Amino acid sequence: MVRSRYLDFMISTNLHRTPSATGSHPSRAIAGGSTQLDLFAAIQDVYREAANDGSVVSNRDLYPELVKRGVLSAEEISSRSPIGRSGALHSTGARRVRWLQQTMRTMGLLERVGDRRGHWQLTPGAKRELTIAPAGVAMLAFETKYGFAIWSDCRTLFSSLSEPVHLVLTSPPYPLRKARAYGNPTEAEYVDFIVRCLEPIMKTLVDGGSVCLNISNDIFEEGSPSRSLYRERLVLALHDRLGLSKMDELVWLNKSKAPGPYQWASKRRVQLNVAWEPVYWFDRQPSGGALGQPQGAAAAHRAAEEADRRGRRTPRRRLLRWRVSDRPRRLR
């Protein structure tokens, strides 16, 4: 999975490891199974709390606070290991913190406090709640036996991937008129935005690989009960510009969805209340391999199962089952 400013992508590949922002192994865990991103967030929280109190935090105060929050162990801070060609002894925990401080400085999140060594503070622009992933920075968010998540800008990270991709499953932000804190493209920008994000993946998407998009059905023309045609424009663009074929349109029924649009459905009763969202399933080459087996079907099944695991109990259409032998057979 790749978490970026705009999109969460779940990508099924043969990828096992990706270099991290600090140059250390991305799967290297910190105390208690936490990861680089846990440590990154904890450091930022400490500095944010200090900024709210009007105080300044030194590294000498920072290390025990991080141990207290469970993202570093006391042993990592106190123990010394040979580092670099010289073999000089350094604290691995303190060194990891300093690496992240320099990374955050490059990202424009931290600045030194005058000429005081080991004293940092948040920059004015870093005091907002969300942090934008800058180009070229990739950090491990978490890892399980099924894979790992990377915090990065998808528009730059995907172009560096060389492993074959079998499935892309994502729910991009909707083209809302009032942007959320994480930012989202407008309706006019939406098609180009999605195409730009997916385009780098096309070079490694295998034949029969699937792209599954969960987008909103509830975007309306301004001042009108008629629905926007942005979904139709997006489907055509993905086919014409990226060569993807539409396999199906699955339905996610959300019974807990609030009634709306209120003005048109609940008040004036000239439109239906919203209750579902589409999940578009696209395939790179629907004809599949020599046996005529659509490899994307298995990926689509996995996408639907993943949606179920995330709490989306989707009454979806029954996907076609294909029988494969030494030679192609007709669909039964």
222 and 282 share a domain?
A: yes
Note down the domain range covering 89: 20-127
Cα-based distances in Å from 90 to 22, 34, 40, 74, 97: 17, 21, 20, 14, 12
- Integer-rounded Cα Rg, in Å, for the chain is 24
Share of the chain above pLDDT 70, in %: 72
Q: Has residue 327 been placed in a domain? A: no
Q: What number of other Cβ atoms are within 10 A of residue 18's Cβ?
A: 19
The reply to whether 197 and 119 lie within a common domain is no
Residue 52 in any domain: the answer is yes
Domain check: are 251 and 170 in the same one?
yes
Tokens 């925990």 locate to 93
Please enumerate, as own/partner, the contacts of 204-207 that have beta carbons within 8 Å and a separation of 24 or more: 204/13, 204/161, 204/162, 204/163, 204/164, 204/165, 205/164, 205/165, 205/166, 205/168, 205/284, 206/164, 206/165, 206/166, 206/284, 206/295, 207/284, 207/285, 207/288, 207/289, 207/295
- Please indicate, yes or no, whether residues 112 and 36 belong to a single structural domain of this protein: yes
**Phi-psi category of residue 87: left, alpha or beta, with phi > 0 → left and psi -120 to 50 → alpha:** left
Assess whether pLDDT exceeds 80 at residue 78. yes
Give CA separation, 164 vs 16, 168, 286, 290, in Å: 12, 11, 17, 19
Element (H, E) at 234: helix 230-242
182 Cβ neighbours under 8 A, 6+ residues apart? 5, 6, 130, 173
Q: Tell me which residue of 53, 45, 71, 54 sits closest to 131, measured CA to CA.
A: 45
Give the pLDDT of residue 331: 44
Question: Does a structural domain hold residue 38?
Answer: yes
- Cα 277–chain centre separation: 20
Q: Is residue 12 included in any domain, yes or no?
A: no
Q: Are residues 191 and 121 in the same domain?
A: no
Same domain membership, residue 247 and residue 116: no
Place of tokens 């006391």: 74
Q: Is residue 332 part of a domain?
A: no
Residue 20: is its pLDDT beyond 50? no
Q: How confident is the model at residue 64 (pLDDT cuts 50, 70, 90)?
A: very high
Are the CB atoms for 317 and 248 separated by under 8 Å?
yes
User: Which pTM was predicted?
Assistant: 0.57
| Least confident range of 63-77, 115-129, 156-170, 310-324 | 310-324
Do residues 295 and 205 make contact, with C-beta atoms less than 8 angstroms apart? no
* Amino acid (one-letter) located at 296: G
Residues 115 and 170 in one domain: no
Q: State the Cα–Cα distance between residues 327 and 332, nearest whole angstrom.
A: 15
> H-helix or E-strand containing 121?
strand 119-122
Per-residue model confidence (pLDDT) at position 23: 38
Spatial separation of the C-alpha atoms in residues 318 and 145, rounded to whole Å: 29
108: exposed, middle or buried (C-beta count within 10 Å: 0-12, 13-18, 19+)? middle
DSSP-H helix ranges across 107-217: 154-157, 187-198
Give yes or no for residue 213 having a pLDDT over 90: yes
As a whole number of angstroms, the distance between CA 74 and CA 93 comes to: 9
What is the separation of C-alpha 238 from the centre of its chain, rounded to a whole number of angstroms? 20
Are the C-beta atoms of residues 192 and 151 closer than 8 Å to each other? no
The rounded distance, in Å, linking the Cα atoms of 48 and 194 is 33
Local confidence band at 285 (pLDDT 50, 70, 90 cut-offs): confident
**HSE-up of 163 (CA within 13 Å, CB side)?**
12
pLDDT tens, residue by residue, 250-273: 999 988 887 778 888 888 999 988
Binning pLDDT at 50, 70 and 90, where does residue 196 land? Answer: very high
Q: Is residue 202 part of a domain?
A: yes
Choose the final residue of a domain: 107, 127, 147: 127
Same domain, 297 and 190: yes
Residue 153 covered by a domain:
no
| 104, 170: one domain | no
CATH (domain of 273): 3.40.50.150
pLDDT at 177: 81
Neighbours of 296 (CB within 10 A): 29
Q: Verify that 46 and 103 share a domain, yes or no.
A: yes
- Same domain? For 118 and 221 the reply is no
Number of structural domains in the chain: 2
pLDDT (tens digit per residue) in 221-234: 988 999 999 999 99
Same domain, 232 and 280: yes
In a domain, 134, yes or no: no
CATH code of 93's domain: 1.10.10
